[in-house]
Structure 1
Amino acid sequence: MNSKLNIVVRIDLDHSKAQVIAKGHITIHSINALYVVAKRANSLRGGLDLELDISSAWVDPEALDMLHAASESGQLPAMIDPDQAPCTISVLADRRHPRTAPSRLAA
């Protein structure tokens, strides 16, 4: 898995929808980059439905909890958005369990 974060944004202003697609490794440190992109997308139009698609990313459990908290509160963290603009966020996460490193058998 590539640890570099790759983010693509798709916006449909006619239907007030935006999709932020992230690939790579999302940690509690790199999540701020995702939040900044989400804030910029959200600022394009009020009432925009924002989907964070992290289904192809490797997401640390703490970072996933942070994303779900933002989704439930309807706001991005105050350090990212001091104005606390309303933000309708849905998180599309992979349903599979994270992969663990393969164990090596001693011969």
Structure 2
Amino acid sequence: MNSKLNIVVRVDLDHSKAQVIAKGHITIHSVNALYVVAKRAKSLKGGLDLELDVSSALVDQEALDMLRTASETRHLPAKIDPAQVPCTISVLAGRRHPRPSAGRLAA
């Protein structure tokens, strides 16, 4: 799998839905790029439901936790959206990158 992040956005303005599809490796650092794209998609029309599809990406657990928090709180992180405009975010997840075990680090 390519570690480069590839993001595609599909918008259905008639049904007020935007799908942000990510492929590659999502880390706690690259998840911010996903948030920025989601914010831009959300700004196209008020009340858009966002779907973050990371099911084809390799997602670090910490990044997945961040995405799920955004879904639960119905807000993008404050550093991405200082106005904290509420939004409906659903996360479609699949594979995730396991955390390195202590045994693998001590070599």
SS in structure 2 at match of 1:14: coil
The CA deviation at 1:45 is 1.2
Q: 1:36 to 1:97 in 2, by over 3 A?
A: closer
Residue 86 of structure 2 is matched in structure 1 by 86
Compute the TM-score of the two structures, normalised by the length of structure 1: 0.88
Q: Say how many residue pairs are matched.
A: 99
Alignment-derived partner of residue 33 in structure 1: 33
1:58 paired residue number = 58
Q: Which runs of 5+ in 2 are unaligned?
A: 100-107
Task: State the 4+ residue runs in structure 1 displaced beyond 2 angstroms.
Answer: 96-100
Distance 1:40 1:98, change over 3 A: same
CA displacement at 1:46 relative to structure 2: 1.3
Q: 1:15 maps to which residue?
A: 15
Displacement of 1:73: 0.3
Over the matched positions of the two proteins, sequence identity in percent amounts to 80
TM-score norm. by structure 2 comes to: 0.88
Structure of greater Rg: 1
**Contiguous gaps of at least 5 residues in structure 1:** 101-107
